[in-house]
Amino acid sequence: MSAPTDVDTGASGAPDRPGDKAVERAFRDILRWIGEDPSRDGLKNTPSRVLRAYREYFAGYASDPEEALRTTFEEVDGYDEMIVLRGVTFESHCEHHLAPIIGRAWVGYVPDRRVVGISKLARVVDIYSRRLQIQERLTAQIANSIESVLQPHGVAVVIKATHHCMMSRGVRRHGADLVTSRMLGVFRDQPTTRAEFLSLVDSQSNS
């Protein structure tokens, strides 16, 4: 039997990333660094718990968001009006401090002959958010992937989120949220279409 390794290997057999044992050791080192004793009863299993939590937090790296959009429907009886999925909750982590980003996303598009199941739109938000992020990039990635796969007349994404990197450290400001948007196609070119979408965002935000 071969000895356990501290690195995972990719398909080529070359070292790819640290293995579970190396990650757990790193978390134990962090516990010691903050002044704790990782061997005490309450913390003995914490490194393995954190590893499992991180695997869930960052599961988006293992999924292809564009693949989630490839199953579409064309039997829509000519439907060509705006489709909006409102208030999709998500949890992400900022890439600068690994602090939580908690927010909601509004995703809209105007179809061109084909539509996608609404759960797939939420899935795209979930996949991109379960990666290290900045909100501006998250907003653009969601919109760009929908445009790339569905090729609709337009895509609009608005994200409103609170950032714990400014709530629990640094300036320590509570109650502030960051709003970002990405408008493509008719949402960028036609003010009335953009205004209709933003009214749907505001009506739910204020309710």
Please check the confidence at residue 14 and state whether its pLDDT lies above 60.
Answer: no
Beta-bridged to residue 182, according to DSSP, are 157
Q: Is 66 a catalytic residue?
A: no
Rounded Cα–Cα distance for residues 106 and 197 (Å): 9
Average pLDDT in the 65-69 region? 94
The single residue of 24, 93, 133, 135 carrying the catalytic annotation is 135
Whether 2 has a pLDDT exceeding 50, the answer reads no
CATH number for the 73-205 domain, one of 3.30.750.24, 3.30.1130.10, 3.30.1360.120, 3.20.20.70? Answer: 3.30.1130.10
Angle between helices 20-33 and 46-57 (to 10 degrees): 110
pLDDT at 165 over 90: no
For residue 75, the 8-state DSSP code is -
How confident is residue 21, by pLDDT bands cut at 50, 70 and 90?
Answer: very high
- Strand 132-133 and strand 83-94: the pairing is parallel
Measured distance CA(181)–CA(138) in Å, rounded: 10
Distances (CA, A) of 33 to 26, 28, 36, 49, 53: 10, 9, 7, 18, 20
Active site residue 135: yes
Active-site residue flag, 165: yes
Predicted local distance difference test score (pLDDT) of residue 174: 76
Tell me the mean pLDDT in the region 184-197: 97
CATH number for the domain formed by residue range(s) 7-57: 1.10.286.10
Position 10, amino acid? G
Tell me the per-residue pLDDT of 24-53, one tens digit each, with 9 for 90 and over: 999 999 999 999 999 999 999 999 999 999
Q: What percent of the chain has pLDDT above 90? A: 77
- pLDDT of res. 113: 86
* Tokens encoding 2: 């071969």
Read off the pLDDT of each residue in 165-177 and give the average, rounded to a whole number: 78
Q: Residue type at 199?
A: S
Task: Find out whether 129 and 65 touch, Cβ atoms under 8 Å.
Answer: no
Candidates 154, 146, 97, 111; CA nearest to 125 is: 146
Q: Which of 66, 95, 147, 196 is catalytic?
A: 95
The catalytically annotated residue of 36, 66, 97, 147 is: 97
Over the stretch 82-122, which tens digit does the pLDDT of each residue have? 999 999 999 999 999 999 999 999 999 999 989 999 999 99
Is 91 considered catalytic here? no
Which residues are CB-neighbours of 154 under 8 A, at least 6 positions away?
109, 110, 183, 184, 185, 186, 187, 188, 189, 190, 193
Virtual CA dihedral for 76, 129, 160, 200, nearest 10 degrees? Answer: 10
Is 97 labeled as catalytic in the residue annotation? yes
Catalytic, 174? Answer no
Residue 33 contacts residue 96 (beta carbons within 8 Å): no
Domain range list for the chain: 7-57, 73-205
